[in-house]
Amino acid sequence: MPRLGTTEREPMYPFVAVVDQEEAKEALLFSLINPAVHGVLLLGQKGTGKTTLVRSLSTLLPEIQVVELPLGSGEEMVLGTVDAERALATGEVTVKPGILSRADGHVLYIDEVNLLPDHLMDVILDAAATGRYRLEREGISRDFTARFVLAGSMNPEEGWLRPQLLDRFGLAVHVLALQSVQGRGEVFKRAQAFEMDPAGFTARFEKEQRDVSNRLKAARERVARVTISDDLLAKTIEAVIRTGIHTHRAELATLRAAQARAAWKGREFVTWEDIQSVMPLALQHRLPSKDIQHVVTWEEIEEKVYKGGESENRHRNGWIPAPFYRKKKARGKERR
């Protein structure tokens, strides 16, 4: 599947063939299932597979393509401009749409998002949140539809986005380099196999890709019917408040991602386990700067939530304790 704007068909690395990086995969899937999550920010050093992972989303749904914003893009490239050639040829003043307009209905990917000028980042984030933007150029004022899923990536070593901009991303995930010899060896083997025979390599993962694609389509249809009980809604918001985070976007992202996870799991209701799973992704970039430097876990959030009066608060009013979820996650890590 070619990336939007390309003229030649390019072989795309299958989504399911990316080794490990399960949290990043889930975050991206949740954003496709429920665009109201409002985007995913991938944090990690160069060479950890962030770009490959985002590009591979286009292999899951034929109607979804990945539109990439070139590094160094200016306002005219992002928003659009007057079509000067047509104006000179015909005298008619028309608008040449920008990347935001071309991304409508697709995924907009911004690599090294932290290096983009703040004013452009503001415009892109506003468009991602509202689904439209206004272009005003040389006497022309026109509204464009721009309903896209935003995916950004950045290397924190090159500097962070301002907190106000970080907060506009729904979820954030640290994408870490694999530390096992076996895992890194598998990355090499798959990369080499794909380079030598893209079609043959893709065929190896055809069934798994099809299964994920079908499951994703079903979840996208189901998510609008997923409900959250008032009790669970209150518990989620209380947990966010107890972490010291003030922005409402923290619970909005948590609850919307939890709805997406429930739909992905085949349910039409959110459970506390859904909340526990996605809350670290929603709070990762909203906690104090000393915390966002490393991977935030549910255990850390739980410690903040129950700090001071743990024993009374843990079991009061129906709170579900976390050990079951922690053990489940630990068993999963042991299997890997």
Looking at the annotation, which residues are catalytic?
Answer: 249
State which H helix or E strand residue 135 sits in. strand 132-137
In sequence order, what are the residues at sequence separation of 6 or more whose Cβ sits closer than 8 angstroms to the Cβ of residue 159? 114, 115
What's the CA gap between 152 and 172, in Å, rounded? Answer: 9
What's the CA gap between 151 and 54, in Å, rounded? Answer: 7
Q: CB atoms < 10 A from the CB of 255, how many? A: 25
What's the CA gap between 2 and 78, in Å, rounded? Answer: 20
- The DSSP code for 111 is E
User: Do 175 and 50 touch, CB atoms closer than 8 A?
Assistant: yes
User: Do 132 and 80 touch, CB atoms closer than 8 A?
Assistant: no
Place of tokens 């490990």: 20
Task: Give the closest residue to 171 by CA, choosing from 154, 150, 148.
Answer: 150
What's the CA gap between 148 and 129, in Å, rounded? Answer: 9
User: Do 69 and 78 touch, CB atoms closer than 8 A?
Assistant: yes
User: Do 256 and 233 touch, CB atoms closer than 8 A?
Assistant: no
- The DSSP code for 174 is E
